[in-house]
Every structure is written in structure tokens, then in C-alpha cells.
Chains A and B, each alone.
Chain A
Amino acid sequence: MIKTGVYTFLVCALMGVTAYAAFFIAPTEATMGLVQRIFYLHAPSGMTALSAFLVSCIGSVAYIFTRKPKWDWLAVSAAEVGIAFCTVVLLTGPIWAKPAWGVWWAWDARLTSTLVLWLLYVAFLILRTMIEDSDRRALVSAFFGVFTFLDVPLVYGSIWWWRTQHPQPVVFTSAGLEPTMRKVFYLSWLSLTCLMALLIRQRYELEESRNELQMLEQELEAN
């Protein structure tokens, strides 16, 4: 309990430092102005969502081969957290797009792919509600989780495959970001990754408790 409290406090402090850095330390971008600062939340959230989906896929594959429920709990926890971060991407994207492109939503390839990814993971969660038996649910959703994750490379690949209005990735290119912007971007990525780990852990514990409760209820019914 104390360990979780300390970790939560550290993550909150890191998030606070990141917000300060994004608003007051990072320089204002020359052409887009203040609205560009949403980039420190938008882009790292996208990358964090993909990391969460990767964790979910690892959980799914591990469940298929080991059949240990803990991997299923990890898969569902990471998928839910991934959807939360994906939602942040989909909400902050239009806020940036309106002043930059003049429209709330452009059917840009990367934005559309993110939306498709979000729909796929929502379908993953709906599928889980449709199967009563816990072992069957875990196995079937693990399989669908693997299939869904195979769609993820399209999010990355789409920007090169299709013509797009989306800004080309500048973080990893040689031209790159201005050094301070780059540092703030990495700080933001680190803090969101820590937040993701915290949320997955909390959600995993909830799933564990839910499972224990279900087993106790079954024992009670049997007696």
C-alpha cells in the first residue's frame, strides 16, 4: 500500500514537472505559436498508447502459451489503459488541428489509423463482455488481441503508405526538434510511460481482486 502511494506521488510529481516544462521552459514554436504546446501531450500519448497495446499483445501471446490467468489480466489492463491514451490522442488532435488546418477533423491517414486502432481495442473489450466462461473469454480475447496488434504497424506505416496532411515525424529525424523542445518531449514521454505503468498496475490489481471475489462466490455457492 505504502509502495503504491509513494509511486503514485512520484508519478504525480513527474507529471507536474512535465506540465511546467511544457508551458514555461519549452520555447514557443515560430509558426504555430502556443497551440503547438499540445504536442507535448499529443505525440507522447500516442507513443504511450502503442506501448500499452504492445504490453497487451505480450499478455495475450503469453496467455495462449501458458494459460496462466495473470497474463490475461495484464492483457485486459494494458488494453484499457491503451484505449485511455488513444482517446487523449484523438481528443488533443482536433484541438491542434482546428487552428493549424482550419478543421476539427481531417481524414488524415495517421489520425484515421489511430481511430481505427481505438475502434479495434474497443471491440476487444466488447468481445470480453460477450463470453461468460472466464477461461474461454481469456483464450478467445487473447487471440483477437494478437490479431488486433498486427494492425498496429499500419498506424506507423500509414504515414508513408498513404498521402497525408499530418506533419511528418520530426523527433527522430536528423533535422529534428529544437534541443530544448526535444528534452521536454522526452520528459513528457517518460512521465506518461510512468503513468501508464502505474495505471496498468492498479487495473491489474483490480482484475486480480475481482477474480478472487468470483472464486469466493463460487465456493460459497458450492457450499
Chain B
Amino acid sequence: MRLFSNTAVLLQKELQAEFRSHELLTTASVFILIVIVLFSFTFDPTSAESRKFGPGLLWLAFLFSASLMLQPCFLKERTNDTLSALRLVVNDPFAIFLAKLCANTIFLLVTELLLLFVFAVFYNVGVIAVFPQLALVFFLGSMGVATTGTALSAISSQARMREVLLPLLLLPLLVPVLIPSTEATKALLEKEPVLRWDWLGILIAFDVVFLTALWLFGEYLLEE
């Protein structure tokens, strides 16, 4: 129970810090927007083609922006020397990870859902009818990205060339998130939309496996 109360307090701190500065949400949203616009120059974004390629480019844009967005997650704690203070106030160090990954999931999800509508307008794809199902796919995908990204952010914050290192470590690890998320989104944007539970199953498995690994080994990453 202490784990959840500690997590709730730390999550509030993360959300407050972001909603005061809006740094992450603004930069990530603009970054995804730029990628969406740039992609439109590489192929003709007619309706048929956008159904085929759209989900892939959308998820690629999400992953690239996530690799930038997750960068400061632990770096700011190390720069401000607040990690030791955080460790002192919680009973279980996993609460620090849990709070950060919940906050990151929320940030990613907000950005993705916001940009989904921009994508729908630009690429002439209907998303309103399948919005709840898309939100579920986006939630499971974002959780996978946030879980691995938060852990790897703790790793890269301790290394040299950390700006390059995080995408290098994170992106190949996220292949099992990219494929099912893209396929599930593609199936929902078809003329006859279907919610593909087989792909969602892979996403759930990924989330559970990496969350468990983080729970088991995460505290060692916070050692000073």
C-alpha cells in the first residue's frame, strides 16, 4: 500500500512540474507534427495510401519523439542532484520508477491522441468511430514505450553521449511494440475496422514482461 501512496505523491510531482512548464508536451507535439508533415512529401497522402502507410509513420513518429521526450526523465534528477532525496523519501525505490513511467505514459498518450486528430485531417483518415479502440492500442503501446524508456533513461543518464545513447538502446528494444501497435492501428483504420486482439496480446505481454523486470531489477539502477 505504501508503494501506491508513494507513487501517487511522486506522480503528482511529475505532473505538476510538466503542467507548469509544458516543455515536454509542447516539444514532442511539434516534433511529431514536423515528422507527419515531412512524411507527406515522401509519398502521395491520398486516402488509400494513407491507410496503408499512415499507421507505420504515425508510430515511427511517436517512437522518435518518445526517445527525445524520455531523455530528461532521470537526467534532471541527476543534474539537480535530487535522486538521493527521492530515494530517501520512498520505502520502495520501485515507486520512483512507477511514478515516472505513469507520468511518461500520460505524456505520451496525451501527445499521441492530440496528434491523431491532426493526422486524421492531414491524411484524410476517419478516426472518430474507432476512437475508443485506438485509445486502447495507444495506451498499451505507450505503456510499453514508457516502461522500457524510463528504465533506459536511468541508464543513459549515467553515461557519456547520453543524447545519442538513449535512442540507440531504446529503438531496437521497441520493435516488439512497433509491429503490433502499427498492425493493430492499421486494422482499425481499414474500411471495415477490427480490433486485433492477437496484436494487443503481444503488447500486453511486452508490458507485463518489462514491468516485471523493472520491478525486480530497477532499484539497482538507482544506486549512487
Contacts and interface: CB of A to CB of B under 8 A. Distances in A.
Interface of A: 64, 113, 116, 119-120, 123, 126-127, 130-132, 136, 139-140, 143-144, 146-148, 150-151, 154, 161-162
B217 A146 contact: yes
A123 B176 contact: no
Contacts of B173: 120, 147-148, 151
Contacts of A148: 173
Interface residues of B, number: 25
Interface SS majority for chain B:
helix
Nearest to A115: B172
Contact of A140 (B148, B158, B168): B158
B209 A131 contact: no
B30 interface: no
A131 B213 contact: no
B165 interface: yes
Contacts of A162: 179
B164 to A, nearest CB: 9
B160 interface: yes
B176 A154 contact: yes
Contacts of A126: 165, 168
A149 B162 CA distance: 22
A67 B109 CA distance: 38
Given A126-B168, A154-B176, A147 B210 contact: yes
A148 B152 CA distance: 11
A47 B160 CA distance: 34
A136 B155 CA distance: 10
Given A140-B158, A147-B148, A127 B223 contact: no
B86 interface: no
Contacts of B159: 127, 130-131, 140
Contact of A139 (B172, B176, B210, B223): B223
Given A140-B158, A143-B155, A150-B213, A127 B169 contact: yes
A125 to B, nearest CB: 11
30 contacts: A64-B217, A64-B220, A116-B172, A120-B172, A126-B165, A130-B159, A130-B160, A131-B158, A131-B159, A132-B160, A139-B221, A139-B223, A140-B159, A143-B151, A143-B220, A143-B221, A144-B169, A146-B213, A146-B217, A147-B152, A147-B173, A147-B210, A147-B213, A150-B209, A150-B210, A151-B175, A151-B176, A154-B175, A161-B202, A162-B179
**5 nearest A-B residue pairs (beta carbon):** A130-B159, A119-B172, A130-B160, A120-B172, A116-B175
Contacts of B175: 113, 116, 151, 154
Interface string B172-211: 1101100100000000000000000000001000000110
B161 interface: yes
Nearest to A139: B220
A143 B220 CA distance: 8
A166 to B, nearest CB: 16
A64 B216 CA distance: 11
Given A127-B165, A131-B158, A143-B151, 20 more contacts: A119-B172, A120-B173, A123-B168, A123-B169, A127-B155, A127-B159, A130-B160, A130-B162, A131-B160, A139-B221, A139-B223, A140-B155, A143-B220, A143-B221, A144-B152, A144-B169, A146-B217, A147-B213, A148-B173, A154-B176
Contacts of B169: 123, 127, 144
B106 to A, nearest CB: 23
